[in-house]
Amino acid sequence: LNVTEENFVLDTLAGCIEYKSLLDVVVNAFFVRDGRYCLISERNLYIVICYLATFQLEELGLQYFSRIVKSLDTAKMQKFLRFFFNTLYLNTWIKDEWSQFYDSLYVKENWIDPLLRWQPRVQQLIEQLTDKLSNCTTTIKTSTVTQPEEFNLTIPKPRAIPMPLPIPVLEKRQPVPPSTYKPPKEKKQLEEIKRKNRRKAEIRSIICVCKGDYFFLNSLLVQGTFLTGREVVPFLPQYLEVVWGLVLTQYFEELQIDNIPIKLNAAAILREGALYQRKMEQELKRIENLLRGAGDPSEFLEWQNQMRGKDMEEQLAEIECRRLQGKLSHEEAVLAHQNVIQENKKKAALMREEKAEMMHQYAEKRLQEQKEMRELVEQVVEGHKNAKQAKIKLQKYKQQIVQEVCEENRELLRQALEEEEEKLRKRYELIQQIRAIESLPSLRHKFVDLTETGGHGLICEMSIVELRERLALLREAQKAAEEEKRDQIIHEKQAKEQLLLDKLDQISLFRAELGRAAALKQEEKKQKSQSGERPMKDDRILNLQKKIVEKTMERKKQAGLL
């Protein structure tokens, strides 16, 4: 830019910043009323045009101002100038809003009166912009079509024919391993665990029934009555199974729990029946092996059980040591927590003293601020008294404008009502004509013969009567098929119920036998446990118990001090 243009731009920028409050009043009102659909990014454009029209129009002249306006978007400038140079707006709310920032007399003489003098000439500019908008035609630029040209590429040399590759010989595939068609070993392990758990549960149930008193069982077998002493004649081993069967039968008969209703579904019954069937086959196979001369693994199993018992005792001792160590750690943690509580109490006391001192200082500061605030309020009240009279005058003027606008709205509403009544009258006449046409009589009845065909010339045509007869025959055939299917289902259901009843009888027999075997094993285990000595506690457990007692006494002493 040259020096003149640069000075003009800087003066315009400085003026827009200086009179920002006045320009914001006009531009904000424009965006609320006529410029609702204008972009907010164009706000600075309207601020500059408003500043030039208000403060620089005398210096620029209308010709230079028109050149600036016509260089911009025609529709936007026409809309903004029509809004800003409205005589009613300039004399009413624009003048009142500007009077809130500057003296009303100064606003009227220096800004409003010059704008009103320039209004007729600016109106001619607005009309020129309006004519330009109404006569403008959109010109579509025709673009030239790009003509493609071939690339000047080098012609490649012909490639030599490659030698054919030898056909690879496929390696022999590995056969499918046989483990694919075998059940997994985890399933067998789960079945073994399930069998062992069931055996343990049966043993526990027998122990609960007999309450662990096997001398009571012996006395019950010998005399049939309850004995107070522990010395009875032992029964023979070959009658052990019979004796346990009698004892369990008598006990269940006394408690009336021999017929406990256990609800089993069909799948559970068949599954348990298959399990007992496999067990019976395994037992028969074991007996056949014994008859052929196979060895009895009972001694090895007994030794194995003893070793497992020792391992279990060691594991229990280790578990007890861990439990006591955890308890000792808990006691130490409680002591540490009590020490932390004491330290926190001391810190809280110091913080309360500091807080009281700070609150005292804050109260003095608040009193001083309140005193200053009262003085400021008194000054503001005096200023409001002078502004109250100006607000009353402004309110009266606004009421006068509202009355004028209401009268115009009433006239427009009356015209709209008259037009709507005319439309309703024409619509009512049209409805009367349509109803008169519809009231004329017309023959709409058609007689139908149900025995005749449609007459379409098809081979499969039939009358409605024949169709109904065929549908009735189909329904009867379908009903007969349903009855036959229902009878078949009932027979299958009865056969399945009979199979389940047989399985239940077989399951009850197996359960009784397994209960007796479990009771015998439990009695042997009881006798072995009574004959053996109770192992002594581990030294580690005793030391840990002693430490726990000491820590507990120290914690109680510390709690008493707290």
Distance CA 465, CA 270 (A): 55
Return the pLDDT at 480: 94
Distance CA 277, CA 555 (A): 63
> Is residue 47 packed enough to be buried (19+ CB in 10 Å), middle (13-18) or exposed (0-12)?
middle
Return the pLDDT at 538: 65
16 and 48 in contact (C-beta within 8 Å)? yes
Distance CA 526, CA 214 (A): 8
Lowest-confidence region among 55-64, 160-169, 182-191, 248-257: 248-257
Picking from 97, 122, 137, the residue at the C-terminal end of a domain is 137
Query: By residue range, what is the domain housing residue 553?
Result: 304-383+532-561
**Per-residue confidence band for 231, with pLDDT thresholds at 50, 70 and 90:** very low
430 within domain boundaries: no
Q: For 517-542, what is the mean pLDDT?
A: 70
376 within domain boundaries: yes
Q: What percent of the chain clears pLDDT 70, i.e. is strictly above it?
A: 83
176 within domain boundaries: no
How many CA atoms lie less than 13 Å away from 423 in the CB half-sphere? Answer: 6
45 and 35 in contact (C-beta within 8 Å)? no
195 within domain boundaries: no
Distance of CA 308 to the CA centre of its chain: 52
Return the pLDDT at 270: 85
Q: For 89-115, what is the mean pLDDT?
A: 88
Name the residue with higher pLDDT: 540 or 508.
Answer: 508
Q: Average pLDDT, whole number, for the chain?
A: 79
**Per-residue confidence band for 243, with pLDDT thresholds at 50, 70 and 90:** very low
Lowest-confidence region among 48-52, 222-226, 433-437, 544-548: 222-226
Picking from 137, 154, 171, the residue at the C-terminal end of a domain is 137
420 within domain boundaries: no
Return the pLDDT at 212: 45
**Per-residue confidence band for 470, with pLDDT thresholds at 50, 70 and 90:** very high
| pLDDT, tens only, 127-158 | 888 888 888 645 555 667 888 888 888 888 88
544 within domain boundaries: yes
| Domains held by the chain: number | 2
102 within domain boundaries: yes
pLDDT at 415 over 80: yes
366 within domain boundaries: yes
pLDDT at 365 over 80: yes
Q: What percent of the chain clears pLDDT 90, i.e. is strictly above it?
A: 7
3-class secondary-structure state, position 165: coil
Picking from 137, 172, 203, the residue at the C-terminal end of a domain is 137
pLDDT at 481 over 90: yes
Q: For 100-120, what is the mean pLDDT?
A: 88
525 and 309 in contact (C-beta within 8 Å)? no
| pLDDT, tens only, 177-226 | 888 888 888 888 999 999 999 888 876 665 554 544 444 444 444 443 33
Residue type, 210: C
Return the pLDDT at 488: 93
Return the pLDDT at 220: 40
Return the pLDDT at 304: 85
3-class secondary-structure state, position 264: coil
Q: For 468-473, what is the mean pLDDT?
A: 93
| pLDDT, tens only, 288-328 | 887 777 666 777 777 888 888 888 888 888 888 888 888 88
How many CA atoms lie less than 13 Å away from 220 in the CB half-sphere? Answer: 15
